[in-house]
Amino acid sequence: MQSTILRTAFCCSYHEDKRTKNNSINICIRQNGVLSGKGKTMKEVCTGAKSEQQSKLAARKYARIIQKLGFPAKFKDFKIQNIVGSCDVKFPIRLEGLAYSHGAFSSYEPELFPGLIYRMKQPKIVLLIFVSGKIVLTGAKVRDETYTAFENIYPVLTEFRKSQQ
Amino acid sequence: MVYCSHCGDYCPAIKDPDKGYICCGICGKILDQEIYSNDPTFTKDGAGQSRLAGNILNSVESGYSASHERTLMKGRDAIKHIVNSLHVSGGDSIIDQAHRFYQIAVDKNFTRGRRTSHVAAACLYIACSYVLGAVFLQLCKILRLAEHPIVQKLIDPSLFIHRFTERLLGGKKNNAVSETALRILASMKRDWMQTGRKPSGLCGAALYISALSHGLDYSKSDIVTVVHICEATLTKRLIEFENTESGCLTIEEFLMRADELDREPNSTQLPKPGEVLCKHKDSEEQHFAHGLCRKCYNKFIKISGGLEGGAEPPAFQRAERQRAEAAKKEAKMRESHHDKQHFDKDNNSIHDNNGANSIKFTSDEAGNGTRAFKDPENSGCEAVDASTCKESQDQNEKTVDEQESLSDIDDVEVDGYLHNEEEKHYKKIIWEEMNKEYLEEQAAKEAAAAAKMEAFENSSEDTKQRIANLQKSRKERRQKRAEEAKNSTPARSPFEATCNMLKRKGFGSKVNIGAVGSLYTSDQENLKKQKAEPDTLDSGGNPNDIKENNDAPDEGDAENGSEGEAIDEGGVTEADFDEYYENGDEDYSYQEDFDFE
């Protein structure tokens, strides 16, 4: 069945080696840079979209492609698995202080990675905090979790902000 | 470790896998010879197929087979090698401790896919608490040390200066050079150069400047070999230091300034009100500042240079520069596009069109830029918000009805993704060419499966039945085990841990649980005496000996179990463990009057 797909389809890059290892194909839909992967059990994963709507749209486009190839495709159970956000607080942060003060949640190993990895418990989000003030938040299932996490971390960051001269 | 009568002491045992004897690792005297053969034997079953004689559980030594011993020995050798070459103090005790961690790692299959030397080094690290790498972090998770205080320690680059100086100067110890290097490092900390960087890079730069300023002629490549960073990094750090205030001073001015700063009283701050959040939060330490007790606060200041003053960190400077450039570009855009409404119309059309014109893209960027400037705090979030609101309005009506039918998707675009006949033909050729090996493998697999099916058909009725039953039971067992593994919680006592392990390895029914329980209630003397026995184990196929044999390796598990206890749970050993590392805590503060002689 897989080989049928391969013989009939696809425009942009799709990765052959992945296919031989896990019996799945990756298709890249050009428009919004979304990458879709489909496994043997016909579960589809879609990454790279810039918003929830775009992600859903891309997934449906993909399902449509499969449909057009003659396979009985149905679009069921669309679920967002992960939302990644980034922002900038625009002041430098003393990561060492944060690591000392919130040691239970922080993991700061400058020899490995320049950023501090903060694992927030409520909501369950992982934040990467950098000395330049840029923050990356990941692990959210809904958009609001990202916002809440940022609201929670902001006072902590100001605590260890570089004081103005 | 076995007792060798020739050496008169406990020595590491070497087990020969071919001949099956055990000899002393130091003098070579043969201590024991195995009588039983380790090799598997084969018999033919009714269908004419060769099968392994006996049960599928082929290592009756319950996990401590010859290859397991070899793995552990290899790990121990690797640890020893590192200890010797790095001149780590502690000798055998450190090696033993690291080796115990290594045993646990091997039990949890941590050594698969990783180099022995890496895992050994990580175990040694935990034993000595020096930073090593990603392996260390993962190992900590496996050993459930993630919440343990030793992982939270931050490395002060000042600690490395003495070692690097010594190495650079070829064994001689130069106080002055080290002192200057430390001062330079302190200045770097105050200027926020240290946060987020590898300590060795900063040490290298500080050492380089210090050595040069004392007239010693060391090139950058000398420093690079000592400190193990690349020359580009060293150059970058030097440039960054040059850009700070202290970088412009001559060495005398710099030292004078450093002296002044040192003489200033450090704790000019009174304790501020707040909650203690550091690791001392359960003790009665008073809050000093920033959620830290006084001790932690002092450590924090020493390791990082504090929050007051200094230059901006280089990463932040870069970010500022980028923001300034973006502002300049945006101002230019505003000049060329007078009409603000024209702007918004462009923004709207971007979301509808699929094709992207390059000019339109930049105007979109600039549009986002203006929004970003208005709200510095929520820059990223805002821009995304606006665009998604627009999108959802566009597609709200469509998505609600068309859940199943998918007919709202643009067919023209979808057709563009599919190949026509000619393209299909070419693609097929290309793909088959590229994946020749895979196709061959598949063909071979199919042929093998077909042959199996044939043999299956030809065999008699009851063998078919037997094989089917066997397969079903195997599958059921596997599924049950997977479920149990998923649902199980970590064992709460060494006894539980042992039982779990036995169940996993499949000896649950063959071991006397009562005897295992009595192991953990017997006194320490008993355990220590039986420690010598695991190495002299035979691979007995005798079922009567199974119980006995299983007792001795359970000792090994008891060791592991008690080790796990020491790390995980509370108890007497936990306090000792903590104490050991608390003392190490004090050692971390570098002493001014350290005697170099």
DSSP string, B243-290: HSSGGGS-HHHHHHHHHHHHHS-S--SPPPP----SGGGGTTPPEEET
pLDDT tens readout for residues A61-82: 877 777 777 777 777 788 888 9
- Count of CB contacts below 8 A, A vs B? 185
Subunit contact B414:A10, Cβ cutoff 8 A: no
pLDDT at position B365 is 42
**Residue percentage of chain B with pLDDT more than 90:** 0
Subunit contact B413:A52, Cβ cutoff 8 A: no
pLDDT tens readout for residues A3-35: 555 544 544 444 444 444 555 666 666 555 556
Between these two residues, B310 and B459, which has the higher pLDDT value? Answer: B459
pLDDT tens readout for residues B141-155: 666 654 444 445 666
Q: Are B414 and A68 in contact (CB under 8 A)?
A: yes
Subunit contact B319:A64, Cβ cutoff 8 A: no
pLDDT at position B364 is 41
B568 DSSP 8-state letter: S
pLDDT at A47 over 60: yes
Q: Which segment of A54-63, A137-146, B84-93, B218-227 scores lowest on mean pLDDT?
A: B84-93
Subunit contact A97:B292, Cβ cutoff 8 A: yes
Q: Which of B236, B317, B377, B409 to mutate to test the interface with A (most CBs of A within 10 A)?
A: B409
pLDDT band for position B415 (cuts 50, 70, 90): low
Q: Which segment of A28-32, B215-219, B311-315, B587-591 scores lowest on mean pLDDT?
A: B587-591
Sign for the pseudo-dihedral over CA of B164, B169, B172, B178 = negative
Q: For residues B28 and B541, what is the distance between their CA atoms, to the nearest angstrom? A: 28
Q: Which among A61, A74, A75 is the nearest to B414, CB-wise?
A: A61
**A144 contacts chain B (CB < 8 A):** no
Q: Which among B292, B319, B388 is the nearest to A133, CB-wise?
A: B319
Chain B residue whose CA is closest to A128: B196
**A9 contacts chain B (CB < 8 A):** yes
Mean pLDDT across the stretch B413-442? 74
Mean pLDDT across the stretch B89-95? 75
pLDDT at position A117 is 92
Residue A110's SS3 state is coil
Give CA separation, B234 vs B65, B207, B209, B211, B292, in Å: 49, 11, 11, 14, 34
pLDDT at B324 over 80: yes
Subunit contact B307:A100, Cβ cutoff 8 A: no
Instruction: Indicate the average pLDDT of chain B.
Output: 68
pTM comes to 0.54
Tell me the nearest-neighbour CA distance from A43 into chain B, angstroms: 16
Q: Which among A86, A109, A159 is the nearest to B290, CB-wise?
A: A159
Q: Which of A4, A14, A100 to mutate to test the interface with B (most CBs of B within 10 A)?
A: A100
pLDDT at position B398 is 43
Subunit contact B417:A11, Cβ cutoff 8 A: yes
pLDDT at A85 over 90: yes
Let me know the angle formed at the C-alpha of B273 by B272 and B276, rounded to the nearest 5 degrees: 100
Instruction: Indicate the average pLDDT of chain A.
Output: 77
Subunit contact B319:A88, Cβ cutoff 8 A: yes
Sign for the pseudo-dihedral over CA of A19, A23, A28, A32 = negative
pLDDT at position B562 is 41
Q: Which segment of A6-20, B20-34, B490-504 scores lowest on mean pLDDT?
A: A6-20
**Selected residues 101-140 of chain A with any CB under 8 Å from a CB in chain B:** 101-104, 107-112, 114-115, 130-134
pLDDT at B35 over 60: no
Does the complex come out with an ipTM higher than 0.85?
no
Contacts of A61 in chain B (CB under 8 A): 409, 413-414
Mean pLDDT across the stretch B496-517? 79
pLDDT at position A137 is 94
Mean pLDDT across the stretch B101-119? 85
Mean pLDDT across the stretch B187-216? 83
**Residue percentage of chain B with pLDDT more than 70:** 56
Chain A residue whose CA is closest to B427: A7
Mean pLDDT across the stretch B389-413? 51
Would you mind telling me the total number of residues written for chain A in this entry? 165
pLDDT at B64 over 70: no
Between these two residues, A135 and B122, which has the higher pLDDT value? Answer: A135
Q: Which segment of A71-80, A145-154, B324-333 scores lowest on mean pLDDT?
A: A71-80
pLDDT at position B352 is 44
Helix axes B358-374, B379-401, angle to 10 degrees: 120
pLDDT band for position B388 (cuts 50, 70, 90): very low
pLDDT tens readout for residues B458-489: 776 777 788 788 888 888 888 887 887 777 66
Give CA separation, B169 vs A68, B89, B172, B226, B424, in Å: 73, 22, 6, 10, 69
Between these two residues, B280 and B493, which has the higher pLDDT value? Answer: B493
Q: Which amino acid belongs to residue B421?
A: E
